[in-house]
Chains A and B, each alone.
Chain A
C-alpha cells in the first residue's frame, strides 16, 4: 500500500517534469491557452456565481442568528460574513466545487484521449503529449481559478447584502460598515496564494489521473473518481498547512 502510494507520487513528479518543458510551437500553445481559459472561466462562471450568492446568503442568516446580543456591535455581522467568506468559504468550498466541475472535465478529456489512442498519435508524431495537452490547462487554471474565487467573494458578499435587505436581520448600512471594517490587504494576498496553489493541484492531479489511464471506459470512470478524491484530499490538507503558515 505505502509502496504503491510512493510509486504514484514519484510517477506524478516525473509527469510534472514531462509537462513543464518548452512547448513545441509557441503560437499553438497560446491558442490552446486562450481556449482553455475561455472554457474554464466562462464555463464555470454561472455555477460559481450561483453557489457564491447562496453561500453568502446562508452565512449572513446563520451569523445573524448567533449574534443577537445587544452587547455585540451591529457591524459584527458584516465583518464576520466578510471574514468567513474571504478567508475560508470561497477559496475552499468554491475550489472543491471546481474540483468536481473542472477537475472531472480535465480527467475525462485527457483519459478519453488516452483510451482512443489520440495521445499515442501525438507521441508518434514526435510531440510531447503531456506538454502539448496539459501545460495550457495548468497555466490556464492557475490564472483563471483565482479570478473565479475573487468573483465568487464579490457575489457571496452581494448575497449577504440581499439577505440583509430582505430579512432585515441588520441594516444595510451596518452590514456595509462591517464589510469594510478592519480590512487588511494581506488577507487578499493570503487568498490569492492559497487559490493559486489549489488551482495547480486541481489541474495537475486531475490531468495526471487522466494521463495514466490504462484500459477502457471502466478505467476512465475510476480515474475520474480518484482524481476528484485525491485532489480534494490534497487541497484540504494544504489548506490546513497554508493557513498555519500564513496566519
Chain B
C-alpha cells in the first residue's frame, strides 16, 4: 500500500499540493482525478520520487520513501513501472530494445530469457510482431501499449500511469483502460493512474482520489462517484453535455 500523509509541495511561493492525505491500495487500480492544473502530475511525480514534498510523508508499505538511502530508492524503483503521458519511449531504440532496456539495466538475465520476456510482454499488450519497429512508426495507441509493455517487463509491484489515454480516440482509450485493469489484477500490481477521462473513472476506478486546486476534495470509488453530493466533484464529472444528459435521463 502507498500512503500519503499531509503531503505538501511548493513551487516558490505557490503551494501546489496542500496537506494531501490518501492511500493507494494493493492489487487495485487507484485513480487520481482532477482538472488540468489541479496538481495530479505533481502528486504522481512526488509518488515516484522525481520530486520531493516539502512537508509530509509518502509511505511504501509503511516506510517513508524520502528517508530511503540511494540504494533503497534504487531497489524500490526497480519495482516500479511508469507509463508517461507522451509514452517516453526511447526513440533511438526499436520497440524490442525499449522493452528489453529495463531488463538489460536492472537484471542479469541471459539474452534468451530477456527476449522471451520481451515477446511475452509485447504479446500481452497485443503488439506481437512489432519488435523491429521504431516509436516514430507507431500510432498513439500502439505507443501507449509499448510503454505499458516496457513498464511491466520487470514484473513491477507498482505501476504508475500518467494520463494513459490522453490524445487517444474513445475506442482506443477503452482498450488501454481494459489493459491496465487486466494487468493490475493478473499480476497483482498496485496501479496508480492519473486521469481526467470520465470513461476511465467509471470503468476502472477501484479507488478514486479527486484533487481540486491542490486539495484532496473527495475520495471514493467508481460505484459512488456518480452519486456523490460533492459539488466540485459533480462539476468535474458532469462537465460535458453528454454526461449531463445521461445524468438527466437517469
Contact = CB atoms under 8 A, between A and B. Distances in A.
B77 A124 contact: yes
Contacts of B101: 125
B73 A124 contact: no
A193 interface: no
A37 to B, nearest CB: 16
Contacts, number: 47
Contact of A25 (B78, B82, B91, B105): B105
Interface string A100-129: 000000000000000011101101111100
Main secondary structure of the interface of B (DSSP, over half): mixed
A188 interface: no
Interface string B101-135: 11011100000000000000000000000000000
Contact of B85 (A117, A123, A124, A126): A117
Contacts of B74: 126
B163 to A, nearest CB: 12
A126 B88 contact: no
Nearest to A126: B77
Contacts of B16: none
Interface residues of B, number: 23
B242 interface: no
Contacts of B106: 125-126
A28 B104 contact: yes
A234 interface: no
B246 interface: no
Contacts of B86: 116-117
Interface string B230-241: 000000000000
Contacts of B88: 116-118, 120-121
Chain A, interface residues (CB within 8 Å), range: 10 to 19
A25 B84 contact: no
A117 B84 contact: yes
B83 to A, nearest CB: 9
Contacts of A121: 82, 84, 88, 90
Interface in B42-90: 48-50, 73-75, 77-78, 80, 82, 84-86, 88-90
A140 to B, nearest CB: 15
A28 B107 CA distance: 13
Contacts of A189: none
A8 interface: no
A24 B80 contact: no
Given A124-B77, A126-B74, A28 B85 contact: no
A132 to B, nearest CB: 8
A127 to B, nearest CB: 6
Contacts of B84: 117, 120-121
Contacts of A28: 104-105
Contact of A124 (B50, B75, B89, B90): B50
A123 B102 CA distance: 11
A25 B104 CA distance: 8
8 contacts: A28-B105, A120-B82, A124-B49, A124-B77, A125-B101, A125-B106, A126-B73, A126-B78
Given A25-B105, A126-B77, A127-B105, 13 more contacts: A25-B104, A116-B86, A118-B90, A121-B90, A123-B49, A124-B77, A125-B101, A125-B102, A125-B105, A125-B106, A126-B73, A126-B74, A126-B106
